Amino acid sequence: MANVDMLWSGWGDPERAERLPDSVTGLLRELLGVHTEQLAQPVKLAEIEPPPARPVPGALEEVVGAEHVRADAETRIRHTRGKSTPDLLRIRAGDAGGAPDAVVLPGSHDEVAAVLARCAEHRVAVVPFGGGTSVVGGLAPEAGGFAAVVALDLRRLDRLVGLDSVSRTATLQPGLRAPHAERLLNEQGYTLGHFPQSFEWASIGGFAAARSSGQASAGYGRFDEMVTGLTLATPSGTLETGRAPKSAAGPDLRQLVLGSEGAFGVITDVTVRIRPLPETRVYEGWLFPSFSEGVTAVRALAQDGPLPTVLRLSDETETMIGLARPDELGEGNAAGGCLAVCGYEGTAAEVPGRREKARAVLTSLGGVYQGEEPGESWARGRFSAPYLRDALLDVGVLAETLETAGFWSNLPRLYDAVRLTLSRELPSSVVMCHVSHVYAAGASLYFTVVTAQGERPLERWRDAKAAVSDAIIEAGGTISHHHGVGVDHRDWYAREAGPLGVAALRAVKDRLDPEGIMNPGVLIPAE
Amino acid sequence: MANVDMLWSGWGDPERAERLPDSVTGLLRELLGVHTEQLAQPVKLAEIEPPPARPVPGALEEVVGAEHVRADAETRIRHTRGKSTPDLLRIRAGDAGGAPDAVVLPGSHDEVAAVLARCAEHRVAVVPFGGGTSVVGGLAPEAGGFAAVVALDLRRLDRLVGLDSVSRTATLQPGLRAPHAERLLNEQGYTLGHFPQSFEWASIGGFAAARSSGQASAGYGRFDEMVTGLTLATPSGTLETGRAPKSAAGPDLRQLVLGSEGAFGVITDVTVRIRPLPETRVYEGWLFPSFSEGVTAVRALAQDGPLPTVLRLSDETETMIGLARPDELGEGNAAGGCLAVCGYEGTAAEVPGRREKARAVLTSLGGVYQGEEPGESWARGRFSAPYLRDALLDVGVLAETLETAGFWSNLPRLYDAVRLTLSRELPSSVVMCHVSHVYAAGASLYFTVVTAQGERPLERWRDAKAAVSDAIIEAGGTISHHHGVGVDHRDWYAREAGPLGVAALRAVKDRLDPEGIMNPGVLIPAE
């Protein structure tokens, strides 16, 4: 898979594109009134003309070798923006505006550092590019005023640098795609345990830069919790962090790099906690009478334990549609209620006891055990929703996701605010939600919206997204639990971080990247 | 206790001063060759003359009220430096150099903000003062070039602002001393679970500012892991953080405030995770044949579980001296080996199973169960070591602690480097060590050094401490696991953070505190 390029116009392996099942086309007709002819096909790749490539000053070929600087149209198009639904709508329509002038593929930390130094000298904007899976405009800088823009594709930095079996840490290069990293660790008996929906295509560097969180975060933690050290190449030099798992020597600089989204520099290695490969994996389904009862139950596990490795609760709509089980989509539970998926991974000695105790908690709080099939069905389809989105785009349906997080006591308010806003902004849409990351103090809410593309889908979505982002900030939530900020969330992030938070980050950026070449406009709002 | 002032010349409650047990005086004679007459008594408080108080410009009385600005000698002396052994040696000798010109006691966030604004305008240095327990020079700024220096004593900010029983969080003011905070939470059925050795006197704000870690960190986490939000008053305005337990919206700004040691501003509230009061508490002792075997055992619990709530392992020397059990000091285990203390706190339903599983692990790795008495003895004496230090100072003995942390694979090297350096620098001394904070990837090492004061003890300790700090940095450890940086560790912190790390923090400071009035010289090295 590491050698296959992702579908330029959509998600994933071009060979795996899916047709919508009949059950879904029926649902779409019923719920959204859309017809399901293939009416919104993408243009052909060869027909797209990106804007003329400007020459890139700084002779970057001298640093990385001529074969690692590419300016052909296809390579540039493949590095244009990311994988949000608006990104796909635009690229499918042949809009490659903002394509980088060149794509540069460094082969080492030193090459990254040298490229940054030359780009700073020549005012060339740099977009760090890992898996290319950003859904928040993290790869779409605002590069006006620069001599040129290069995408710094890190795919050649794809080694497992070292594995410390005593400390249970591994040092990984940023361009390693997650399945490749996982395979390298598996070969030595370990797992990272980081499985976001983007798993099949996202990169280790991207996980760090965007503070990723995976579907098994209840058991393995968020990516930022796994990181014990990282190296950041900046235009002003190199920052190395991570002498100890935890320290009281000043603020945790790792946590300043995690989430910096390429705005300070390029992450050139990441040391992460690893764990022994689980001996046992089992997933199961539970049904709750209502979302609020389900939330109470998952909160009980998050606060008092025992915690499953995967813990996910769909609301009534998502359960009805069956989105938690993509291979049975449209055949959701007609009986109502809310489906929860609990997954247990660990040793054969440990899992049964944990599972049994969690079952007692869930049962006592109104959950009804549904057997393993709903859980295994979720596990089979866990990475396939983005493929489904492509199939929906083909038939004129817009599907997009957004997410937030908050404290348990505020979750109902946040949930209502998002649903109310979306139903007001997009009257004939289906809005689904699940809780998929739990903490002792709160949880994330992940929303999926499906609506007819209609006229001007980009503008409709832009307006709806702005309104719902307002609603999230006003209801006290964070603008992103795991997608990040990019350019899409930047204005709301400014409200979340506040003027002084923005000022602090801007000060760091000005010091590490005085020419402002690093992913300009991403993450950090103007003061 | 909240209304008692700490002993000005030493630790804790003046009524609780302890005499050395005969067993200890015997040990001291034997090991260090010191006589144990009371030969090094402190001067009298009334005899100390602090340097003349400069007038403080800015009319701070207008902000906080005249009764909350104090410049009497005793108040100033009580706010001079902290509680490191060199701090005590100096104050006991009557040296109140560096006493603040005044002590200001604000009553609200707004008063703090207004004081900072006036101090910035008039170039008055500000030392945030919580419990006054810093052992790294965190209260000893380098305030040359300022019009005056004030200690900002936060004791009036001592309220539990709110408790969210659904999210299990509480918002606490920074001047709350830990026992008071704990009592307020206990009254509502909760505990914070943060019990550092300084517990009886340290403050909530200090825990946050210095990234504290408590004796029960295995079970309850470090203080920085408990914090879900905080408010920071700076000379440039207020920073509010914490909309969700976790977020991908940019770097975690909470982690930039935690550990900032007053160099960016004053923490005016802290929201922390709380937990139900444990129904069961039990502590027990284990004996391992050697420190390395004990380390292997505690690592097994940290990596594969189950984790006790308290997990602490003394090396051979500390076990022999009996320091883990202060009420039986000098009656340590003559049979050799290394004592581990395991504590379990939790529900009556959960503790026995966890304890039983941990016992199986410890036994399989060479541990021999010692019953509950050694654990309970540790628990009784857990906050009393600083009292013992005062008694040692009285008889001409210098006792001091230092600590670091590293990854498991590097721990033996770190341990050897520190011991070797101390034994070289302080030839007739006793050096003891314990592991008291464990993580999946590594642990802390906490050293206690006891030596005769001899001639010029301050200079001797300064040189030894510099050498051992060099050794820690060279051996790859962090300069502090939980004491912090202050001014004492600043030069080594510069090496740990590296020039770019320092530059990033300096940039933040310059933006939030452009006049540089906040705890000048603490934490942040010159670039």
Residue B27 has pLDDT above 70, yes or no: yes
Residue A2 in this model has a pLDDT that exceeds 50: no
Question: What span, in angstroms and rounded, lies between the C-alpha atoms of B43 and B58?
Answer: 35
From A405, A504, A506, residue closest to B245, measured CB to CB = A405
Q: Which CATH class is domain B280-380?
A: alpha beta
Q: Is 60 exceeded by the pLDDT of residue B381?
A: yes
What are B301's two structure tokens? 């619990």
- Where do runs of H (alpha helix) occur along A187-263? 204-209, 217-220, 223-226, 254-257
pLDDT band, residue B2 (cuts 50/70/90): very low
- For residues A203, A208, A212 and A218, what is the CA-based torsion angle, rounded to 10 degrees? 110
Averaged over A147-165, what is the pLDDT?
98
For residue B1, name the pLDDT band (cuts at 50, 70, 90): very low
Asked if pLDDT for residue A498 goes beyond 90, the answer is yes
Instruction: Determine, for residues A222 and B246 on separate chains, whether the beta-carbon distance falls below 8 Å.
Output: yes
pLDDT per residue over B410-427, tens digit each?
999 999 999 999 999 999
The residue of chain A with its CA nearest to that of B346 is A304
The architecture of the domain spanning B14-153 is: 2-Layer Sandwich (3.30)
Answer yes or no: is pLDDT of B357 > 50.
yes
Q: Which of B167, B409, B499 sits opposite A409 (nearest CB)?
A: B167
**Chain B contact probe: residue of A133, A246, A513 with most B CBs at under 10 A:** A246
- pLDDT confidence band for A153 (50 / 70 / 90): very high
Contact A511 B503 (CB under 8 A): yes
Got the DSSP string for B80-105? SS-SSHHHHHHHHTT--TT--SEEE-
Confidence check: pLDDT of B26 > 90:
no
**The pLDDT value given to residue A328:** 65
Which pLDDT does position B21 carry in this prediction? Answer: 79
Strand partners, B104: B69, B152
Q: Quick one: pLDDT at residue A3?
A: 55
**Which pLDDT belongs to residue B502?**
98
pLDDT tens-digit series, residues A64-76: 999 999 999 999 9
Q: If you average pLDDT over residues A48-58, what whole number do you get? A: 97
Can you tell me which residue has the tokens 């007038």?
B55
Q: Tell me: pLDDT of B20 over 70.
A: yes
DSSP state of B120: H
Amino acid at A409: S
The confidence band for A418, taking pLDDT boundaries of 50, 70 and 90, is very high
Instruction: Note whether B255 contacts A256, CB cutoff 8 Å.
Output: yes
Work out the percent of chain B whose per-residue pLDDT is above 90.
87
Domain ranges within chain A, ordered by starting residue? 14-153, 160-276, 280-380, 390-474
Residue A448 has a pLDDT of: 97
Interval A82-126: pLDDT, tens: 999 999 999 999 999 999 999 999 999 999 999 999 999 999 999
pLDDT band at A1 (very low <50, low <70, confident <90, very high): very low
Mean pLDDT computed over B111-131: 98
- Nearest Cα to Cα of residue B486 among B513, B455, B521: B521
Nearest CB among A167, A234, A499 relative to B500 is that of A234
Q: CA B482, CA B201: separation in Å to the nearest integer?
A: 16
| Residue to test with chain B: of A220, A225, A253, most B Cβ within 10 A | A253
Q: Name the pLDDT band for B3 (thresholds 50, 70, 90).
A: low
Mean pLDDT of B151-177: 98
Q: What is the DSSP letter of A349?
A: T
d(CA B438, CA A245): 9
Which of A477-481, B141-145, B169-173, B431-435 is predicted with the least confidence, judged by mean pLDDT? Answer: B141-145
Cα separation, A191 vs A179, whole angstroms: 11
pLDDT tens track for A388-408:
999 999 989 999 999 999 999
Name the residue of chain B whose CA is nearest to A224's CA. B248
pLDDT exceeds cutoff 90 at B238: yes
On whether the pTM is more than 0.95, the answer is yes
pLDDT, greater one: A58 or A329: A58
Q: What is the mean pLDDT of residues B208-213?
A: 98
Cβ of A244 within 8 Å of Cβ of B407? The answer is yes
Rounded CA-CA distance A129/B233 in Å is 37
A181 pLDDT higher than 90 = yes
Number of residues that make up chain A: 527
Domain A390-474 of CATH type 3.40.50.300? no
First to last CA, chain B: 42
**B118: nearest Cα among B62, B66, B54:** B62
State the pLDDT confidence band at B207, using cuts at 50, 70 and 90: very high
pLDDT above 90 covers a percentage of chain A that reads 87
d(CA A87, CA A140): 10
CA B420 to chain A, closest CA, distance in angstroms equals: 21
Class level of CATH domain A160-276: alpha beta
More reliable by pLDDT, B51 or A324: B51
Among A44-48, B259-263, B393-397, the minimum mean pLDDT is found in: B393-397
Q: What is the pLDDT of residue A265?
A: 98
Q: Quickly list DSSP for A354-397.
A: HHHHHHHHHHHTT-EE--SHHHHHHHHTTTTHHHHHHHHHHTTE
- The pLDDT, as a whole number, for residue A283 is 97
A/B interface, count of CB pairs below 8 Å: 263
Q: What is the mean pLDDT of chain A?
A: 95
Q: Per DSSP, what are the bridge partners of residue A430?
A: A450
Quote the tokens at residue B486. Answer: 């202050």
What confidence tens digit (pLDDT) does each residue in A459-494 have? 999 999 999 999 999 999 999 999 999 999 999 999
Residues of chain B in contact with residue A134, where contact means CB-CB under 8 angstroms, are: none
Mean pLDDT of A279-284: 97
Could you tell me the pLDDT band of residue A26, with boundaries at 50, 70 and 90?
Answer: confident
Read out DSSP for B295-340?
Answer: HHHHHHHHHHSPPPSEEEEE-HHHHHHTTTSGGGTT---TT-SEEE
Provide φ and ψ at B495, rounded to 5°.
-75, -35
Q: Has residue A175 got a pLDDT over 90? A: yes
- Mean pLDDT to the nearest integer, B125-134: 97
Taking the alpha carbons of A206, A207, A211, A214 in that order, is the dihedral positive or negative?
positive
Closest CA to B48 of B104, B102, B4, B8: B8
Q: How confident is the model at residue A41 (pLDDT cuts 50, 70, 90)?
A: confident
Chain A closest CA to B210's CA: distance in Å? 6
Mean pLDDT of the A328-357 span: 87
Q: Do B240 and A476 make contact, defined as CB atoms within 8 angstroms?
A: no
**Smallest Cβ distance to A253: which of B250, B440, B504?**
B504
| Fold agreement (B14-153, B280-380) | no
Residue A413 vs residue A454, higher pLDDT: A413
**Of the candidates A248, A258, A303, which has its C-beta nearest B482's C-beta?**
A248
The listed range with the strongest mean pLDDT (A5-19, A408-422, B318-332) is A408-422
Least Cα separation, residue B24 to chain A (angstroms): 32
